[in-house]
Amino acid sequence: MKFNAQRALGLLRLGTGQPHARFREGQEEAIRHIVEGRGRLLVVQKTGWGKSFVYFIATKLLREEVNGPALLISPLLALMRNQIAAAERMGVRAVTINSDNQEEWANVEAMIQRNKVDILLISPERLANERFRAEVLARVAGRIALLVIDEAHCISDWGHDFRPHYRLLERIVRTLPPNLRLLATTATANNRVMDDLSAILGPNLGVSRGDLNRPSLALQTMRLHSQAERLAWLAAQVPALPGNGIIYTLTVRDAVQVADWLQSRGLNVESYTGQTGERRPGLEQALLEDRVKALVATTALGMGFDKPDLAFVIHYQAPGSVVAYYQQVGRAGRALAAAYGVLLSGEEETNITGYFIESAFPTRDEVQEVLDALQAAPNGLSVPELLGRVNLSKGRIQKTIDLLSLEYPAPIAKQGTKWQLTAANLSEAFWERADRLTALRRDEQRQMQEYVSLRSGHMEFLIRALDGDPGSVHAPALAPLPASTELTLVREAIAYLHRKSLPIEPRRQWPAGGMPQYRLTGRIAVELQAQPGKALCIWGDAGWGSLVRQGKYRDRRFADELVDACAVLVREWNAQPAPAWVTCIPSLRHPGLVPDFARRLAAALGLPFDAVLEKTDNRPEQKTMQNGIQQARNIDGSLAIHVQGLRAGPMLLVDDMVDSRWTLTVAAWLLRSQGGGEVFPLTLALAGHDR
């Protein structure tokens, strides 16, 4: 097919809304390569270069010559709103089928059948859906003119953001006719990933690779070990920075906490995480329109978000790899002469990224537990049923199932809602790959810490890590930001961290299968439920968390400061009706720890204390139970009330730690069942991942 350069340029100008727009270096050549059917093409260009214009313009040109639709596979459907809007301006009819728009599926599928769709966008996970493959993909497969694989580094085991379901693409690509137009795009591919992609997407894969330098970025790193120091630094520096930006955190709770702190300082910021839900599009738009100073975000605001005039990207902690960092910090300064990319390194970051590394693959024991459970159930088990059979969290079970089901041949397969064993055995290659990638992630983590320690040459370091040429790097003339923090602000940040408390929502339903020893099933009667409760902190976290850990495992007694802090929390909480007395959760392992704390707290509040609950037998620690059903069973029948008659009035129910809430739920049910008043749970800490 002949390439129409003038038409392609006209489409670019429609898509950008800029009547004098010109193609960036390599864009027109990539479109020409696809349209003229010169073979499969891998485009490796930095974020913001305009990879989406390549595939949308190519799609439009192909459709105008009466070719079939394009299929785009991307992990970024929720973040492609800007790109889809640009496609629509060019007259490209782009539709998506994903888990968030089920009410639109019938209409989208009808449009596909009537040839009213130019490009269908799906996530790689959709390829694992049997109904989609049979009823949608099979009907259009023979007409597809172009297959686009966005964020193609996700195919490679070596990629920093490997997505297991991309392995399905490897098998699909091998079955495609060699002359089918195929475009793969990524911003982050070092030589190792490039070699992997060439092997998977070949034969004769063409490569268009651009310059990795970001000449507008002024990069800087500083170690501020405590969270209070970093909060103080942000409070001092963010208001003075020009323009708008993103502040990245490693965890959801840090994103929420940093945003809340900055809001308390009068800054117009919002948190943005995978738990933000329906507010995410509105928050993206608010940042695009400069209606917020910054979004404090996890990687949920990652690939796919495009604001060319973003003036700064700040990292609250160091990510796990240089490649991931390059992609995130590269969101700043795409259309500016100068922008800041600042990394604040904290003491907790290696623990967090280390946890992510260690939990990326199931262990041999976890895999064996799942396989043994399926072996014992010839008719198969659903995920909820597996939760009752194996002592693994839902996330660990789902990860194990996902990875096993994507092996070839797969040792498990899904029939309806249930998973069953197949005749295949899990290959030892699975474990070799897991070990190899875990070692790689550890190397990447160490490389990231090398970057943190740099005093200069930051961009050169990033480019070398991506196997690029750092020879022509010139940093913009931006003065470095101060690396020190004001002591007054640090003290205020410490006070803020100490003032925070966290909600404990009551459980309203007994677990699947009930509590056999207590003979409880279904809904918990409202009058027998706990009231909403409070936790002072997160275990081991900034604020009080480290002091709680020290008290439990080193001092074997909780500090007086924690008593005072909880007394302040209770007074500010002002629970109604006001608690009239205090009781606590018993323990056979540490019999004096929580009662001692609860007794001192009661004295500080001027309330009586009664230890009315007892442990009837010794069970494994709750922290060894990995999911809610196992945690509920572990408590079932293990608590009782050992006194005749309870004090009148509402009570505080004190414990040191809360995770699944089953201990508090059962204790509250017992207390209420014996005529006790309202039960207000109060714990020192919510369990963290390192508990």
Give me the long-range contacts of 48-52 (CB less than 8 A, separation at least 24). Answer: 48/306, 48/308, 48/330, 48/331, 48/334, 49/24, 49/187, 49/210, 50/24, 51/150, 51/185, 51/187, 52/80, 52/83, 52/86, 52/87
**Where are the domains positioned within the chain?**
5-209, 217-354+441-487, 361-432, 500-686
Q: What confidence score (pLDDT) does residue 690 get?
A: 43
Which phi-psi region, left, alpha or beta, contains residue 637 (left: φ > 0; alpha: ψ -120 to 50)? Answer: left
* Per-residue buried b or exposed e for 48-71, using 16+ beta carbons within 10 Å of the residue's own CB: bbbbbbbbbbbbbbbbeeebbbbb
Q: Provide mean pLDDT across the span 381-394.
A: 92
For the ranges 398-407, 553-562, 665-674, which has the lowest average pLDDT?
398-407
* Per-residue buried b or exposed e for 189-216, using 16+ beta carbons within 10 Å of the residue's own CB: bbeebbebbeebbeeebeebebebbbeb
- The dihedral through the CA atoms of 75, 387, 686, 542 has a sign that is negative
The answer as to CATH 3.40.50.300 being correct for domain 361-432 is no
Q: Which of 545, 506, 484 is nearest to 253 (CA)?
A: 545
- The dihedral through the CA atoms of 21, 24, 25, 28 has a sign that is negative
Q: Which CATH number fits domain 500-686: 1.10.150, 3.40.1350, 2.60.40, 3.40.50?
A: 3.40.50
Q: What confidence score (pLDDT) does residue 159 get?
A: 61
Cα maximum dimension of the chain: 91
Q: Can you tell me which residue has the tokens 């172009």? A: 146
Q: Using alpha carbons only, give the angle 558, 564, 566 rounded to the nearest 5 degrees.
A: 80
Residues 434-458 pLDDT 10s: 999 899 999 999 999 999 999 999 9
Query: Rounded to two decimals, what is the model's pTM?
Result: 0.87
pLDDT averaged over every residue in the chain: 91
**Token pair in block for residue 643:** 């006194």
Q: What confidence score (pLDDT) does residue 471 get?
A: 81
Q: Provide mean pLDDT across the span 209-214.
A: 89
For the ranges 72-76, 235-239, 356-360, which has the lowest average pLDDT?
72-76
Which phi-psi region, left, alpha or beta, contains residue 601 (left: φ > 0; alpha: ψ -120 to 50)? Answer: alpha
Rounded Cα gap, residues 241 and 269, in angstroms: 13
Cα–Cα separations (whole angstroms), residue 515 to 260, 523, 627, 632, 666: 39, 12, 15, 7, 10
Q: 447 Cβ partners below 8 Å, 6+ apart?
A: 321, 322, 465
Q: Give DSSP secondary structure letters for 430-469.
A: HHHHHHHHHHHHHHHHHHHHHHHT-SS-HHHHHHHHTT--
**Token pair in block for residue 269:** 């910021």
More confident residue, 77 or 328: 328
Q: Can you tell me which residue has the tokens 């259309």? A: 335
Residues 459-506 pLDDT 10s: 999 999 988 888 878 888 899 999 999 999 999 999 999 987 889 999
**Token pair in block for residue 291:** 């209606």
Q: 138 Cβ partners below 8 Å, 6+ apart?
A: none
Tell me whether the CATH fold assigned to 361-432 matches the one assigned to 500-686. no
Give me the residues paired with residue 520 across strands.
Answer: 515
Rounded Cα gap, residues 10 and 67, in angstroms: 20
Q: 195 Cβ partners below 8 Å, 6+ apart?
A: none
Decide: helix, strand or coil at residue 322: helix
Share of the chain above pLDDT 90, in %: 66
Q: Can you tell me which residue has the tokens 């795009």? A: 185
Nearest 5°: phi and psi at 160?
-70, -20
Which of the four pLDDT bands, split at 50, 70 and 90, describes residue 607? very high
Rounded Cα gap, residues 640 and 616, in angstroms: 7
Rounded Cα gap, residues 138 and 524, in angstroms: 47
Q: What confidence score (pLDDT) does residue 124 get?
A: 86
Q: Give DSSP secondary structure letters for 480-492.
A: PPP----HHHHHH
More confident residue, 636 or 169: 636
Q: Which fold has domain 5-209?
A: Rossmann fold (3.40.50)
**Token pair in block for residue 68:** 């079939």
Decide: helix, strand or coil at residue 176: coil
Residue pair 498/565 in contact (Cβ under 8 Å)? The answer is: yes
Q: What confidence score (pLDDT) does residue 649 get?
A: 95
Rounded Cα gap, residues 337 and 690, in angstroms: 43
Report CA 473 to chain centroid distance, whole Å. 33
Q: Give DSSP secondary structure letters for 413-434.
A: EEETTEEEE-SPPPPHHHHHHH
Rounded Cα gap, residues 122 and 125, in angstroms: 8
Residues 505-531 pLDDT 10s: 999 999 988 999 999 999 999 999 999
Check pLDDT > 90 for residue 168.
Answer: no
Residue pair 562/542 in contact (Cβ under 8 Å)? The answer is: no
Which of the four pLDDT bands, split at 50, 70 and 90, describes residue 304? low
Residue pair 637/564 in contact (Cβ under 8 Å)? The answer is: no
Residue pair 146/34 in contact (Cβ under 8 Å)? The answer is: yes
Q: What confidence score (pLDDT) does residue 555 get?
A: 95
Q: Which CATH number fits domain 217-354+441-487: 1.20.1730.10, 3.40.50.1980, 3.40.50.10490, 3.40.50.300?
A: 3.40.50.300
Residue pair 322/298 in contact (Cβ under 8 Å)? The answer is: no
For the ranges 122-126, 155-159, 606-610, 674-678, which has the lowest average pLDDT?
155-159
Q: What confidence score (pLDDT) does residue 691 get?
A: 36
3-state helix, strand and coil shares in percent for the chain, rounded to the nearest 5: 45, 15, 40
Q: Provide mean pLDDT across the span 289-309.
A: 88
Q: Environment class of residue 641 by beta-carbon count within 10 Å: exposed (0-12), middle (13-18) or buried (19+)?
A: middle
Q: Provide mean pLDDT across the span 243-256.
A: 95
Write out the E strands in 260-338.
269-272, 294-297, 312-315
Rounded Cα gap, residues 306 and 469, in angstroms: 25
Q: What confidence score (pLDDT) does residue 688 get?
A: 66
Residue pair 190/156 in contact (Cβ under 8 Å)? The answer is: no
Residues 649-675 pLDDT 10s: 999 999 999 999 999 999 999 999 999
Check pLDDT > 70 for residue 286.
Answer: yes
Decide: helix, strand or coil at residue 526: helix
Residues 115-131 pLDDT 10s: 999 999 988 888 888 78
42 C-beta neighbours (distance < 10 Å), count: 23
